[in-house]
Structure 1
Amino acid sequence: MSFATLAEYGRDYCVIDTHNLFVGTTLEDEILLLGAGDDLFSVIAQECSRFGLQLEPGRKLPSYSGGEQSIICCLLLMHLLPKEKLCVLLVHVLETLSPRNRSLLLDRFAALLPAASLSVLTENGPKPLADHV
């Protein structure tokens, strides 16, 4: 994640930036660092299967494609973020996905974080996604 992007928009948005999606090297590490329960891996694995993505325990996150990493990160955050009104800024996330997976990811945001407003980062700043499909 560009520190400039985070500095500029981090107060108003939960920033999800493809340039820096994870802190840990495996999903298990990420879940541990975020203080989530051990069962979250299986929940995320089940969610990922909707996208045709099979998670492997212990697999290094950088070994997944950029789009796969974006999906994993977004699904992880969807299950950890509060289910209240919040603003999420997607930075180059949707561009990494096929049209099918983009639509599916936006559907999952709508289902799991219905009160969240999604925006994408453009050259002119954040632009709200009027419809999550």
Structure 2
Amino acid sequence: MTGSNGEKHPFLDDLADDAELRGTVLRRPVSGRDNIKRLVEAVGTLYASQTPTFYGAIDQRHFLQYKATLRTSLDLEAVGVIERDEAGLVRRVTMTFLPLDAALSLSAGLGGIVGEEFGDDLFYDASVNEITAS
């Protein structure tokens, strides 16, 4: 996937069929290339703006950092660890989002967009006051 500025996305084009996405906005991992692409696409619709701040690699492990502002006006920071195999395929992506209010807002927003598709129990439900362990 190429961004609007012509830069290649750091991992979407290279996802293995059985790749796994983990993150602080998800209650459990999401597996599969198409599922991960759909989820990343949904995240993008919740951003008012996004600014990359760092991208680098050590061996097969790549690191991505960016700042974003959600459409809810909350500022968000993200750190991604992209793990590749010897062939260069992405096997696992782990995303951490902060601060907590922005991460919960992002998770709830994702639930509103793709909750039925992925299962409502995957995302934070803002209408429930307690956070339960899965």
Q: 1 or 2, which has the higher strand percentage?
A: 2
Q: 1 or 2, which has the higher helix percentage?
A: 1
Q: Same fold (TM over 0.5)?
A: no
**TM-score between the two structures when normalised by the length of structure 2:** 0.32
